[in-house]
Amino acid sequence: MDNILENNKISKIILRKENIPFYLHNSELYEIIEEKGEFEIPINCYKENDIVESLDDWILLFDTVNFWMLKAYPLPLLQYTLDNYKNVGKILKNIENDGKIHEFKMIIVPLLKKYLKDEWSTIQFNAFLKIQDNQWEWSTLSRNPNITWEIIRDNPDKPWNYSWLSENPNITWDIIKANPKLQWDYEALNSNPNITWDIIKNNPDKPWNYYDLANNLNITWDIIQSNQDKDWDYPGLCYNHNISWDIMKVVNQIHPEIEWDYEVLSADPKITLDIVQSHPEIEWDYDFLSMNPNITWDIVQAHPEIDWNYHYLSMNKNITWDIVQAHPEIDWDDDSLSCNPNITWDIIQSYSKKPDNREIKWNYGAISCNPNITWDIVKDNPDKDWDYLFLSENTMNTSYEIWIRENLINYLI
């Protein structure tokens, strides 16, 4: 049996290599310990197992992991951190920010973001349920990325639409396999971002639609080239963000008969003004180009010769309220501004007139898809003409990002 010694008031433990717990075998210290003989280490750097049931367990395991220089953090340590991130975070913030702490945070922060996302989704869904409005679009809500599988599973009485749910990015192939009796829609699964090419290859018995799969973000040009026997939707490749402008030019050389949808492409992030100007032979749609995220206010000002569409430009994410205020001579569109991600609820509440003193007619249908809107705002403003279809689809990303940031800063970073 190992012995514990008192040495200058620092407790030590005497060990033999054959008695070292298995989870510590994957450590740099274990590799250099001789097979025979005894050695001693501080007792606060030795935990007999990797079970974590309390904060004291976590502290001892964390110190043990770092002392022994484990090559990977034990899963129980990570899981306890996620489950108790507020208490663990207080400890981490009080520890000197050395290399090991930084390394641990680099690992735990991405995991915590995913964990917090699930927690936030549950909070949002509970807020949604408090509104209890019969106008909710459950079909649209079913594919909202804020709806997790846990929410679906815990609320079987709700009228979920499994066709739309099949598109939900929280639905994984493992979930589908584990629930074969549910009415999954393979047409919708074709566009689910969790459906990879390996899944498709390994499940040839499933009714995959290669025509629709051309738009799946996991489908690359290399995959298409290697599987030319499939019925790919070549014109539809322009909607796939993996298919760059350079790839599209290559596709045109192979399939000159393809006619791209230049209207939609004009708004696509893969298209820049340089590309547009380099191809005057193409009938670009300048209305759609006006809301392209690559079109900044500086570009608009530098190219007055272009017939910009200020209706579409008003919803461009590069147009801020400061720009709107600084340019009263422009006929900004109220409907489009209402859904612009730079227009916050505070701005909507604070401004009823434009700089030229014209009334702003905020459109609550468009505001319903504004990412700055929250369920609490909807609940507290029942007199507004909300569009429940848009609300059901709204990811409310702004409040999510703020909530995540506050929790990470308050408890970990």
pLDDT at 7: 47
Residue 6 has pLDDT above 50, yes or no: no
- Give the range among 5-14, 116-125, 271-280, 350-359 with minimum mean pLDDT: 5-14
- DSSP annotation string for 388-405: HHHHHH---HHHHHHHHH
**Is it the case that residue 2 has pLDDT exceeding 70?**
no
**Three-state SS at 156:** coil
216 Cβ partners below 8 Å, 6+ apart? 190, 191, 192, 193, 195, 240
Q: Is residue 378 a contact partner of residue 396, using CB atoms and an 8 Å limit?
A: no
Residue 97 pLDDT level (bands cut at 50, 70, 90): low
Query: So what's the pLDDT on residue 154?
Result: 93
User: pLDDT tens digits, residue range 145-190?
Assistant: 999 999 999 999 999 999 999 999 999 999 999 999 999 999 999 9
**What does the pLDDT look like over 33-50, one tens digit per residue?**
888 888 899 999 999 999
Burial per residue of 278-290, b for 16 or more beta-carbon CB atoms within 10 angstroms, e otherwise: eeeeeebbbbbbb
> Confidence band (pLDDT; 50, 70, 90) for 9?
low
Confidence of residue 10 (pLDDT cuts 50, 70, 90): low
CA distance 285 to 376: 39
DSSP state string for 172-216: -HHHHHH-TTS---HHHHTT-TT--HHHHHH-TTS---HHHHTT-
| Average pLDDT rounded to a whole number, residues 56-79 | 92
- pLDDT tens per residue, range 12-23: 889 899 999 999
pLDDT for the residue 38: 87
13, 100, 126 from 38: Cα distances, Å = 10, 28, 57
Residue 96 confidence (pLDDT): 61
State pLDDT tens for residues 117-148: 888 899 888 888 888 666 778 999 999 999 99
Angle subtended at Cα 55 by Cα 51 and Cα 58, rounded to the nearest 5 degrees: 45
Q: What is the pLDDT of residue 381?
A: 93
Between residues 358 and 335, the one the model is more confident about:
335
Whole-angstrom Cα distance, residue 209 to residue 188? 10
- Report the pLDDT averaged over residues 39-68: 93
Inform me whether the pLDDT recorded for 323 exceeds 50.
yes
If you write DSSP's letter for every residue of 2-63 in order, what string do you get?
-EEEEETTEEEEEEEGGGS-GGGSSBHHHHHS-SSSEEEEEGGG--SS----SHHHHHHHHH
The pLDDT tens digits of the residues spanning 205-228 come to 999 999 999 989 999 999 999 998
Overall average pLDDT of the 296-312 stretch: 96
Q: How far apart are CA 70 and CA 352, in angstroms?
A: 60
Residue 317: strand, helix, or coil: coil
Which pair of structure tokens corresponds to residue 348?
A: 């909507």
Q: Give the chain's end-to-end CA distance (angstroms, integer).
A: 41
Q: Is 163 helix (H, G, I), strand (E, B) or coil?
A: helix
Residue 171, pLDDT score: 96
Q: What is the pTM of this model?
A: 0.79
pLDDT reported for residue 5: 45
Over pLDDT 70: what percentage of the chain? 95
Q: How far is residue 299 from each of residues 276, 293, 304, measured CA to CA in Å?
A: 13, 11, 9
Mean pLDDT taken over the chain = 89
> Does residue 1 surpass a pLDDT of 60?
no
Q: Tell me, what's the pLDDT at 132?
A: 64
Please tell me the distance from the alpha carbon of residue 358 to that of residue 404, in angstroms, as a whole number: 38
Give me the pLDDT at residue 351, please: 87
Residue given tokens 């999954």 in the structure block: 184
| d(C-alpha 42, C-alpha 10), whole Å | 7
pLDDT of residue 4: 45
**pLDDT one-digit tens code per residue, 104-114:** 888 888 888 88
> What's the half-sphere exposure (Cβ side, CA atoms, 13 Å) at 413?
12
Percent of the chain exceeding pLDDT 90 equals 65
- Structure-token match 């090419």, residue found: 197
